[in-house]
Structure 1
Amino acid sequence: MDEFELFERIKLRDKVAFDILFRKYYATLCRFSYAMCLSEEDAEECIQDLFVRLWEKSSVVNIEVSLKAYLYTSARNYTLNAIKKRQAERNCLNEYSENREPQEQDEKISEVEIGQLIQMGVNTLPEKCREIFILCKQEGLTYEEIAEYLNISKKTIDNQMGIALRKLRDYLQPRVKRLLIILLFYITFWG
């Protein structure tokens, strides 16, 4: 099956075709993204977002040259956007830490408050996505263990974790921009 047939099947919501595409390109696109951003986590997140978006928008995506070229161009764009976002976060963090009032430096955000906020975000996730996220992040299971436990593929776990992380980021960001800056600062420097 050539690329165009594969993509036409994806447009028709063929999960097998999507899985074939994902397995064929995921690892190489992650390496491509990593070479640009030098962060495995960011690279994987970019490529997972790319595949999620491709699945969600496949009916309106028009591929004119080749599917491979489209994927690499998209991976480049997602990665460049992630790099810009990371730089903006650093700039904001630097500006925030330079402009803090002395009394603000004494303020502490409790881990309980952060945990409660994250838990509220986790509760908004779709049921299966939430279950996978909890097994991975709260129970500490590996993707392989979760896949075996739920009798689903590791790639499904990858996809669901990508969705969960994106939805959590979207949920938390507008509600706690300041908290995220402080949390990012904490993770970056004391992680």
Structure 2
Amino acid sequence: MANFSLSDPASGFQTDAELWRQFKGDDELAFGMLAERYYKRLYGYGSKFSRDGEFIKDCIQDLFLELWDKRHNLSVPDSVKLYLLISLRRKMQRKRSELKWMEDWEELSFESDRVGTFPIETAIIEDEASQYYIRKLQLLIPKLSRRQQEIIYLRFYENLDNQAIAELMSLSRQGVANLLWRTLRELKDYWYVGLNSLFILWMVLLR
């Protein structure tokens, strides 16, 4: 199997679905473009559950090798991103079980030095007030439970809707809505800056 980490800039942008159909048809270049497109995103999500970088890389490598081996039997998912995130989550769980690791999954970590890598942060206005709210939010998020931190990450940093989050976290759609609302209310209580605090939180997260 050839190296599939290169893409041809002259070919123009191709959608995930187009690349997926091509790799199902044995196109290694298309498969490489998909892997290149999602590697950093998958690594970032995996790092919320383990600080072992080599373990995360091994899981991602195994995931893509498995996809290639099973390519002829795969259907085209409605969302390639969601499919890959779910697949990586399950693979990490299985491999931890196989390795008989006894410790719990690491708490989701939103360290300030990682926040800048999230796409949503590029839209934040670089003014003093915005930076104040971002720094405060970075201090508050670690106070949440792991599942609360994960739902914030998926909703506001991965921009997934409630249905996609429900599939990824094995919750009902209503369960996602309830957990998200409770999480935002809890952040509001931590924030405690007055009646407009919940509105400010929404604005900071959605920017």
Q: Same fold (TM over 0.5)?
A: no
Measured against the shorter chain, the TM-score band is: 0.3 to 0.5
Greater helix fraction, Structure 1 or Structure 2: 1
Looking at both structures, which has the greater relative contact order when contacts are Cα pairs under 8 Å and sequence separation is at least 6?
1
Q: Please, what TM-score do these two structures have when normalized by structure 2?
A: 0.41
Q: Please, what TM-score do these two structures have when normalized by structure 1?
A: 0.44
